[in-house]
A and B are shown apart, each in its own frame.
Chain A
Amino acid sequence: MRRRPSDGLLPLIAAGLVISMVLGGLLLIDGVEGGRYREQSFAVTTQQAAAVRARVEQSLNARLFLVRSLVAMVRGNPELTQGEFEEVAAAAAEGISGVRGLALARNAIATHFFPLAGNEQAIGHDLLADPNRRGAILEVIDRRRFLLQGPLPLLQGGEAVIGRLPVVLPDPGTPVVAREATSGSSAGSGRVWGLAVIIIDVETILREAGVVGGGDGAVEFALRGRDGLGASGDVFLGRAGLFGEAPVLADITLPNGSWQLGALPQGGWSRQSPHATTLRLLGVALAAACGFAAWRLVRDPICLRRDVAAARESVLVSERRQSMLVESVEDYAIYMLGANGAVASWNNGAFRIMGHSTEEVMGRSHALFYPPDAAQAGLPESELAAARRRGRHSVERWHLRKDGTRFLGVTTIAAIRPGEGAGGGAGEGSGDAQPLGFSVVTHDLTQRIQIESSLRESNRRFHDIVGVAGEFIWESDAKGRYTFVSERVLDVLGHSPAELLHCAMVDLMVPEDGVRVAALLRDHASTGRPFRHEEFRCLGKDGGMVWLWGSGIPVSRADGEVIGFRGVAQDISDQKLIENRLRRTVEKLERSNVELTRFAEVAAHDLQEPLRIMVSYADLLSRRYAGRMDKDADDFLGFIVDSSVRMKSLIQDLLRYSLIERSDPPASLADIGACIREAAAEFKDIVHAIGARLELPDWAPQVPGDVRQFTEVFRNLLANAIEYRSPDRDLVITVAVKPIGAAWELSVTDNGIGIEHQYYHRIFVVFERLHTQRTHPGTGIGLAICKKIVERHGGTMSVTSDPGIGSTFFLTLPAAAADEHGAPVALAE
């Protein structure tokens, strides 16, 4: 967010201005208020002073009037007694407080006193005796006017004002008084009797007037002008200093002179009203509040503006992002519809899924995306109506692509109402506002349906296989502990899958196999490669040993770490048993074969030795003694010699048979044509002698093998054909060759006496013979030798025959590799 520097300063400046303005106003008000207050307090003080002055005057006058009544009494009766005086005085003073005493002084000597009690010593007191008062008393008498003195301290205590009035009788009085009277300005003629005196308690007067003890205390008073001297007299009440503080002044008029009253508000003339502090505090608070308000007022709009700008920016960014997002989504078709259902926007996913490009669909009705039957049924309108009504409408149905194909998908239509974001959230319920348009999101479910279906299929396949497999299927963690074992394990090991869970598989094995398999698992966990066909022994639940044949593959996480294994294991105990038996049998057979061969060789050899000696001596016998013994002896000797010869040939054949090597024949090529020719050459004379015909093939192959042995095969077969020729016809022997698959079939056919079918297999057995020694001499080993040689070369030997017509002996020999057949060889001579 950008932020101008003044943005921060402006509110502070505004606040400062407002505060100083409020404070200025406050000062003004404070000043006015101070002035007003001073005026008010001056007026109050003046008013009170006037009131007090009036009351003091009134109080004094009321009491001084008593004196005049005394004067009148004396004038009427100048000779009155103390008793009369007291009676009259008591009556006069009744109801008037503060009168300390009333007295008459005839000729300036105190003669009458009221009240007398307690003042007896005052009787006879010469008023003129006091030099301090003499002048004043003389002046009173002389001028015949009221004299007020005091306040003075009394002997009896307290202060009092003493008022004196000369009593003048109408007739001429004493010379002194007369003189005095004449010397007075207004004195008439008459005789001065004496003085009437009143003693007034000052405190009572002042209290009555409210100067002392009364009032609200708001105004402080002071009095000066003792003895009626006015402003020049002594201060006798209150602070003397008060008069230096510009008080309100009021003169209290006395019969002679005056007192001056000074009044001042309590505490002096205050410069400010008692509410000023409160006012100022309130003012400062107001200023602060106004300043704060100004600061907020100025600042808030700035902040608001900034926030609004930031919000607008972020809305723009988010809108842009959102639109990019929507645009880039490929798995969903996202598009907007106007209020009438016309396409207003179209994203990439929509193009991908529906097949329409943006230009093609903009402004067209969304009914385009419904299969014709659904469109005719009014589904496009009813779905919009549903969205309009409920804010949102979601449905799974068939959709139509541009190319006319359909797909199953989920479409969600949301109504966009005024006041909602462009995203058009779900405006619940309120169907009152007509929507601005609709947002539509369509998800193609085809792939999901395919995946789900193939997943289901794969699951079922797995389940079926697990169920029927002869192997049990297992999974383990990285440490080789079973995490899953199929039910089949129960049949194999006797443990249920639940028993094996979390059980280390090597723990079930015979120790040495366990160690080997543990190492194997570690090995394959590090390489991640599967292992196959591992054989190991486990101990079944019943304690029996079970041979297992297992394969497995490490299971890796996405990051490549091996988290376990899964695989299969098969019970091969039976196979193992058979295998062992077979191996033992093979070993035994090989041993016995070797022994047999050796036995045959040894037997043949060792039998030959005595036979040779027997034959030799039989020969020697007949050589030296034939004809010299009788006929019987000659016959017997003949039998011995014949048998010896026969036995010798049997032994030699046996030796020949046993000497055919069992090992693989040489890989070098043998020319079959040459072998046939060589064998045929050996019978050339006899074939000629018996008038037989020998038909040889034009060509014969070369096959890998032993030349001498192949020659022997043909020699034996030709000898056989000649031996068993029919006496009824000329012998024809045909040797033929033809390919059969990857082998050559050679056949030797004769037109001899033939062999009964049931004897086919016997003729290939050693020393088996079908004829007597007399008709067909021979050991019966020839065909056995042929068969053995052919089989040694990987071939087979068989015979077919029609008795009385002829026989065909077949032998097959595996062909050499294709390019080793060699050139055809001419066999015909």
Chain B
Amino acid sequence: MDVPSVRDLSQGLNILLVEDNPADARLVAEVMKEGRFHAVLHHVEDGVEAMAFLRQEPPFENKPRPDLLLLDLNMPRKDGWEVLEEIRADDALATLPVIILTTSDVHSDVRRAYSRHANCFLTKPVELDEFIKMITLLKDFWLTAVRLPGA
């Protein structure tokens, strides 16, 4: 699933995308490509896989520890809310920046996410251009302005 990485500022940065819809996951990858966001994008399809990946449990023993987590909320087996809680409850993972990336723009969801210490809440725009713009902003912010704990 690894996206071919492009050498730039973001090179070497590992991002884990937790998203059950493959079309959406691919769209994120394509949009990152359009926005020249050259990070290593790992993709898992639900919360259970996400936790295994983060803890480098089989089959993810050889996977790197991600620097950013893009987390969808509505997923089968284990949803984004549970993943967020487990991460914040786990000392080893507590410092991982979590960005909620979802289609929801419901106010209550936003409040809930922040109250559980999500680092930021992004609603996927309907327009492609908007999406590309958002990802570009994300890249600029997280890879240039922000100092990450794991770096």
A interface residues (Cβ-Cβ under 8 A, vs B): 605, 608-609, 611-613, 615-617, 619-620, 623, 648
Contacts and interface: CB of A to CB of B under 8 A. Distances in A.
A613 B30 contact: no
Instruction: Report the 5 A-B pairs with minimum CB-CB distance, sorted nearest first.
Output: A619-B128, A616-B128, A612-B126, A613-B23, A609-B103
B103 A608 contact: yes
A613 B27 contact: yes
Contacts of B21: 609, 613
Interface in B125-147: 126-129, 131
Interface in B1-56: 21, 23-24, 27, 30-31, 34
Contacts of B131: 616
B124 interface: yes
A597 to B, nearest CB: 15
Contacts of B129: 619
Given A608-B103, A613-B24, A623 B126 contact: no
Nearest to A617: B27
Contacts of B128: 615-616, 619-620, 623
What does DSSP make chain A's interface, helix, strand, loop or mixed? Answer: helix
Given A615-B127, A623-B34, A648-B126, 19 more contacts: A605-B103, A608-B103, A609-B103, A611-B126, A612-B103, A612-B124, A613-B23, A613-B24, A613-B27, A616-B31, A616-B126, A619-B127, A619-B128, A619-B129, A620-B27, A620-B30, A620-B34, A620-B128, A623-B128
Contacts of B23: 613, 617
Contacts of A623: 34, 128
Contacts of B31: 616
A609 B102 CA distance: 10
Contact residue range for chain B?
A: 10 to 19
Contacts of B127: 615-616, 619
23 contacts: A608-B103, A609-B103, A611-B126, A612-B103, A612-B124, A612-B126, A613-B23, A613-B27, A615-B126, A615-B127, A615-B128, A616-B27, A616-B126, A616-B127, A616-B128, A616-B131, A617-B27, A619-B128, A619-B129, A620-B27, A620-B30, A620-B34, A620-B128
B122 to A, nearest CB: 14
B100 to A, nearest CB: 16
B144 to A, nearest CB: 25
A616 B28 CA distance: 10
Nearest to A651: B126
Interface in B81-101: none
B17 to A, nearest CB: 15
Contact of B126 (A605, A608, A617, A620): A608
Contacts of A608: 103, 126
A423 B27 CA distance: 128
Contacts of A616: 27, 31, 126-128, 131
Contacts of B126: 608, 611-612, 615-616, 648
A613 B127 CA distance: 9
A613 B26 CA distance: 10
Nearest to B131: A616
Nearest to A612: B126
Nearest to A614: B23
Nearest to A652: B126
A615 B127 CA distance: 7
Nearest to A644: B126
A609 B27 CA distance: 13
Contacts of B24: 613
Contacts of A620: 27, 30, 34, 128
Contacts of A615: 126-128
Nearest to A618: B128
Nearest to B124: A612
A609 B105 CA distance: 12
Which residue among B27, B103, B126 has the maximum number of chain A CB atoms within 10 Å of its CB? Answer: B126
Contacts of B103: 605, 608-609, 612
A746 B18 CA distance: 53
B35 to A, nearest CB: 12
B19 to A, nearest CB: 11
Contacts of B27: 613, 616-617, 620
Contacts of B124: 612
A494 B128 CA distance: 78
A379 B24 CA distance: 122
A613 B129 CA distance: 13
B57 to A, nearest CB: 30
Contacts of A611: 126
A608 B124 CA distance: 11
A67 to B, nearest CB: 199
Contacts of A648: 126
A461 B83 CA distance: 82
A613 B31 CA distance: 12
Contacts of A609: 21, 103
A531 to B, nearest CB: 50
A615 B34 CA distance: 16
Nearest to A606: B103
Nearest to B27: A616
Contacts of A605: 103
Nearest to B106: A605
